[in-house]
Structure 1
Amino acid sequence: MIVRFCNNFTIINFLYLSKQPTHPVAVRFLAYIALEKRYSAHTVAAYGQDLYQFFEYLQAQYDGIPELSAISHLHIRSWLAALMAEQQQARTVNRKISALKSFFKYTVRQGLVLQTPMVKVTAPKISRRLPGFIDEKGMQAVEDNRSMRRGQEDLPIFADDLEGQTHRLIFELLYHTGIRLSELINLQERHVDAANLTIKVLGKGNKERIIPISRELLQQVQAYSARKRKELEELAAGVLIVNHRNGRKLYSKYVYNVVNGYLSEHQITTITRKSPHVLRHTFATHLTNNGADINAIKELLGHSSLAATQVYTHNTIEKLKDVFKQAHPKA
């Protein structure tokens, strides 16, 4: 499967060998979620792989892929059991179930089947892991541009050049706004509203949301924009943050390496996972710990349901437990 982009539309070309048992309706479904539902390229690719594996399993187990109307919950349960036997993680299995649910809903809407077989399929439970976050001391070190590595406390984290300014703005935007990695990469200069101190973000499913920013962050954005124009000969049209070497749009691995590298090198945090998403968790956790309304946090994060946001209340409870243990004489 090849996913490529043209004029901001995802155009999918599925190049399968003849022996690969992918159903043609699956190809139409993936085109539908990419072009009409505007799912991310990552989700489309993941769903495509899940559907390919499902139909490959049917081909192998039943000597051919049954008609869509003949596929029952028993076929699906059999496949899921095989995945669990391979010790697939529950989270991965649930994503595959999500792919099948979306696919069969599509077939019902298209009139290809009368009822989705997924109504009798139950997803395995996932033990919810509390999201890791950086404490306020660590983020203050980033704000103050000072290392937390022992013996190097007087050394700056970010250099005073275009590379350092680019990397610092990546941190500032991720922490001050809680945006996702993909949202950061796709930020446009026109999305920054200097008059109202806001930025416009296009989230999952092209859902738009407005996030307030501080005047200090706005000044950083403006200073960075002026400097990149001065020092780079070519710039990706309209893109806010660009590669400091060639002026091109950033890619995910670049941002991941930047965040992971600085957090590790300067010992900003002791948590194991040091991805850009940790800064999103940190944004939400710090807001929660300082009394922000959970519905407001939900809107800032762009969550579709409150359930996804409520995980941050658990971090607050853990903090309260620590305070209780330290302060209460009977704890």
Structure 2
Amino acid sequence: MGATLADIAAHAGVSEATVSRVLNDRPGVVPAKRQAVLTALDVLGYERPPRLRRRTGRPVGLVLPEFTNPIFPAFAQALGPNFARRGFTPLVGSQAEGGLHEDEYVEMFVEAGAAGILFVSGRHADATAPTTRYEELRELGLPLGFVNGYRAGIDAPFFSIDDRTGTQLAVRHLVAMGHVRLGLSPGPETSVPARRRVEGFREAVVEALGDDADVVVVHGPLSDDGGGHAGRALLEAGCTGIVCGSDLVAVGVLAEARRQGLAVPADLSVVGFDDSVVARHSWPPLTTVRQPVSTMSIAIADAFVGEMNSVHAQRTEYVFQPELVVRESSGPAPR
């Protein structure tokens, strides 16, 4: 038998008339008594009328490395509605320079009662970083999820773009256009995705150009400044086609090419990675490797929401396939 007005009134410490006013969403009830009635409804298992149901979902933490690279806010924008439709509200933290670090956001999210925390290209993506903190959080029972940067031994699901395949798509595209001197700027040397890009680059170059082909790699930050430095070194090495670890890196390479008076794609072809808004609005528009952010976000939300509801996802890496998007920044090799 369901709770009666008398039961609810007794539990909340108010009159039945007050309970009636709250249930009918009428004025004249002080906030404290209104909240007491709502709490009594939930405790006694009384289904709230639609107009009294919570308008916000359970919080879930989302830690991003930065907002400067547009691929990260793109993930936040895509994940937000997917979590909301499943009854969760994202709390977003970005590790901007001079701001809070990952551990500080974790503490804030735990204090806010987050049902779980999802890390996008966080500290886990550094192959040399310890994973002790994540293991401690799991021992406390907090569900975790990780995007781009697989690390073995963490009790959590991982979701990654196939960096090897993406880089190979870029190499094959440039080789098909006659380029034989290729360079790669994959990101920091300790980055898990960067290491996978290097592996894919090396395999594709050797497969297409032979065992004696040079594998020219310049590591650096995934930023336009990092791209500028890498571009300078790769151009000095004689590269006519450059594959980049992000669209921001590619923008830096384009800027360095302009500084040296080179035309893109007549003198140099450049391929980015991500297909962020930067790729579509750079000049020339970037040929790039697309991360399927929308598809990934739906799958991430499905699996991670299950995780937070004690329906555990497989302890594996869910790998998503990239797509090469050809625009005006790549063309035939210079004669």
TM-score range, shorter chain: under 0.3
Structure number with the higher strand fraction is: 2
Normalising by structure 2, what TM-score?
Answer: 0.24
The normalised TM-score by structure 1 is 0.25
Give the number of the structure whose residues are more often helix, by fraction: 1
